[in-house]
Amino acid sequence: MKQRHGARPHEARAHRQLQPADVHNRGSGATPLHILSAYSSPGSTPSPQPETVAAAWSKRRVLLLNATYEPLTALPARRAIVLLVCDKADTVHHNPEGPVVHSAGESVTLPSVIRLRNYVRVPYRARVPMTRAALMHRDRYRCAYCGGKAETIDHVIPRSRGGAHSWENCVASCAPCNHRKADKLLSELGWTLGHPLVSPQGPHWRLLSTTSDLDPVWLQYLGEGAA
């Protein structure tokens, strides 16, 4: 009996170590996928180290369009490949330099943009959430006060003086202007804004509000506000 009790912790540890090779894909209906390399092809130069490829793979995002070409979201690379392999989406914009993955029966190069085959109804939401990424896109990464490169976000009416954290009271700002303005009003400094502060409109702004790094290829699918 003592030997049996003593063996159980070792057995439990052994069982915990035997995880399925494709546990994350369970129930998806997709064949297990494996990364070949970032730029692999038969007869090509040696591939990058697996750790480097895996790190690049985990950071990749693919733009997902609705069946109507309306931008929906930026998908993780694995999810995008699963949609393609399961015939739920089609490639819209190929990326010849994208990572190559393969299953038992085929190899797929990760695209930049894919489109759902069936239309998905998106719940209507009137107001785009304000995030740092979306605000920077709205102001085109330019300081609202001097026109230089924006690095921070500033409240036009300082919060200490009752200003709201909203589209109508926030601007992109460079660090020097933000520091100089501090908790003052624009009228106290003699500063003016070159354009009115408004909440952006359009479905692509929901994507911009959650994504700071955009693939330049995506811009043609996101509308004029993203360019």
pLDDT of res. 226: 47
Degrees (nearest 5) of the Cα angle 103, 109, 112? 135
- The radius of gyration computed from the CA coordinates of the chain, to the nearest angstrom, equals 24
Q: How many CB atoms lie within 10 A of CB 135?
A: 20
Rounded Cα distance between 218 and 220, Å, is 6
Of 157, 139, 143, 144, the C-alpha closest to 193 is 144
**Tell me, what's the pLDDT at 166?**
93
What is the model's pTM? 0.52
Q: What is the mean pLDDT of each run of 10 residues along the chain (227 residues)?
A: 50 39 38 42 47 61 90 88 92 83 76 94 74 87 95 96 94 96 95 89 68 75 59
**Which pLDDT score is estimated for 57?**
65
